[in-house]
Amino acid sequence: MDRAQLADFVRSRRLAMQPEDVGLARGPRRRTAGLRREELAALCLMSVDYLTRIEQGRSTQPSTQMLAAIARGLRLDRAERDHLLRLAGLEPQRTVLDEHVAPGLMRVLDRLADTPVQVLSAIGEVLVQTAPAAALFGDVTARTGLDRSVVHRWFTDPASRAVYPERDHGLRGRAFIAELRQAAADPVTAERAQRIVAALRSSSEEFRGIWAAHEVGVAHGPEKVLVHPELGEIEAQCQRLIDADTGQRLLVFTATPGTVSAERLRLLAVVGVQRLG
């Protein structure tokens, strides 16, 4: 680990960023070149003290997860991400690259901070969410192992289904499995997807039954009914933006302007992860 170079690299990238790059207001009295340290720490979901120690060359070796958070916060591209890992004494691996959110998708997400938006990996792992998305779907970015997979949670954690009305559960389950089947047949994602398949075949009778039907092409569709425990049902449209290089999907949830559903989506930005009493 090259602490001095790691410190310089992180600090230089922070100072090169502008508030507008990450959807922050500049403010009339701002004199700081680039982002403030506390602003980057918030983007990386880490403490200011930890980021300070990295920038001063006083940190212990950061974990892969922490480096991934720094790369996302700094909006690094793949080459910069690889360089960050090597400075920290780690050799980039394919699994690490798969989890690195494409900078272009991050820039879109930055400009939609008041809208439910999340980025999923090619095998259906939620990599990053806006606050309204976390309020609607739950903050799932800290999940680990197989539990990071949306389809794995669907068949192993009944609480994960609460965001959809029960009448839609059958279609959602079939669509999740169709997506997983496609990922399991793709050489790029096959190994990780097949691990999910193996785990679910051994643990879920429901999954085994749907998987055995060999359905393909079952889609969620853009029209969704979502359920918030306090705000109620929300009729939403889900738009997808797919990054061709990584297969990552940026999902944006909107509602028809002037409707009750649009107002409930707006309230998600106000409520955040807090629950109404």
Q: What are phi and psi of 259, to 5 degrees?
A: -95, 165
Beta strand pairing status for 223-228 and 117-120? unpaired
Say whether 253 sits in a helix, a strand or coil: strand
Say whether 131 sits in a helix, a strand or coil: helix
Structure tokens at 11: 């600090």
Give, in order, the Cα–Cα distances in Å from 18 to each of 30, 47, 116: 11, 20, 24
Structure tokens at 87: 């400075």
In a structure prediction context, what are the per-residue pLDDT tens digits for the chain, which is 277 residues long? 888 889 989 999 888 888 877 777 777 777 777 888 888 898 888 899 999 999 998 888 888 878 888 888 888 877 788 888 889 888 776 544 456 787 888 888 888 888 999 999 888 999 889 989 999 998 888 788 898 899 999 999 999 999 999 999 999 999 999 999 988 988 888 888 999 999 999 999 999 999 999 988 888 888 999 999 899 999 999 999 988 777 889 999 999 999 999 999 999 877 765 443 3
Q: Does the predicted TM-score (pTM) go above 0.75?
A: no
